[in-house]
Amino acid sequence: MATEKNAQEREALTDFGYERVPWHEKRSRVKGVFDSVAPHYDLMNDVMSFGLHRLWKRFTLARTGLKPGQAALDVAAGSGDLSLGLARRVGAKGRVVVTDINASMLVGARDRLLNAGFVGNVAFVQADAEALPFSERCFHCISIGFGLRNVTDKAAALQSMYRVLKPGGRLLVLEFSKPHLGALAPLYDLYSFQVLPRLGQLLADDAASYRYLAESIRRHPDQEALRGLMEQQGFERCECYNLSAGIVALHIGVRL
Ligand SMILES: C[S@@+](CC[C@H](N)C(=O)[O-])C[C@H]1O[C@@H](n2cnc3c(N)ncnc32)[C@H](O)[C@@H]1O
């Protein structure tokens, strides 16, 4: 009896970086992180990745397969880098829906798209990736950039994205992954656990959120595990591209 109860209690916990927290608590802890980082988000992205995130996103956008006039969804859009690229690809006759669970991040995305001149054909919806509030089979392409790592139930999020994808449509998951750095691996760890939190403290007065960033990357499924998770949710023709030696990976899956 006691063992069964312990097992149930263990099951109800999940990772928040290296911490184990009750399943239901992760969403609000993640919200706290992004409320805190929102004002400095773009600057920190450039500084922390030495600008590489722009190349990773460009690589992703080049693989959407989108054509003018089509419909795209950006999940966990943050300040809207990928959303903007999607909007450029589908053009004035297409449609882009920009979603994030966090209102402060979504405001950044809205400003970015408005400033770039995208108005009538872009919608902003505050939504949880695990339960997307759209009808079935309505998007030609879905992107989620550096978002899946933060979602509590990744299988539910993949299932939800599968549901709203049109047959033949593509999901692109851009996310930190397991790097193959050989002798440089200790340097990556040093950078992640010593430099990043200090940069966070210096530039955003927030070391804890950037410690969470490094820890959550280590807890995220590696390339093969994520591909398996996508296949379990029904995605086919899954491909994985390692970027910057696998520090980041782009997974693409198709709904047939
Ligand atoms: C690291 S940011 C990535 C933003 C953007 N896609 C990019 O590539 O720069 C992660 C985003 O995921 C959002 N997020 C976290 N959990 C989420 C969830 N369950 N559903 C939707 N968005 C979520 C956060 O609010 C945050 O804006």
Strand, helix or coil for residue 155: helix
Question: Residue-wise pLDDT tens for the chain (256 aa)?
Answer: 445 555 555 568 999 999 999 998 999 999 888 888 888 999 999 999 999 999 999 999 999 999 999 999 999 999 999 999 999 999 999 999 999 999 999 999 999 999 999 999 999 999 999 999 999 999 999 999 999 999 999 999 999 999 999 999 999 999 999 999 999 999 999 999 999 999 999 988 999 999 999 999 999 999 999 999 999 999 999 999 999 999 999 999 999 9
Nearest to 48 by CA among 222, 231, 203, 237: 203
Residue nearest to atom 26 of ligand 1 (CA): 78
User: Cα of 139 to ligand 1 centre, how many Å?
Assistant: 19
Q: What's the burial of 186, exposed, middle or buried (CB within 10 Å: 0-12/13-18/19+)? A: exposed
Amino acid residing at 146: F
Strands 13-16 and 236-243: unpaired
- Kindly state if the Cβ of 30 falls inside 6 Å of ligand 1: yes
157 within 8 A of 151, measured Cβ to Cβ: yes
Place of tokens 């403290």: 201
Residue 56's Cβ-side half-sphere holds a number of Cα atoms within 13 Å equal to: 29
Pull the structure tokens for residue 155.
């299988």
- Kindly state if the Cβ of 175 falls inside 6 Å of ligand 1: no
Beta bridge partners, 20, equal 15
Residue nearest to atom 15 of ligand 1 (CA): 150
User: Cα of 5 to ligand 1 centre, how many Å?
Assistant: 34
73 within 8 A of 139, measured Cβ to Cβ: yes
Tell me which H or E stretch contains 34: helix 26-37
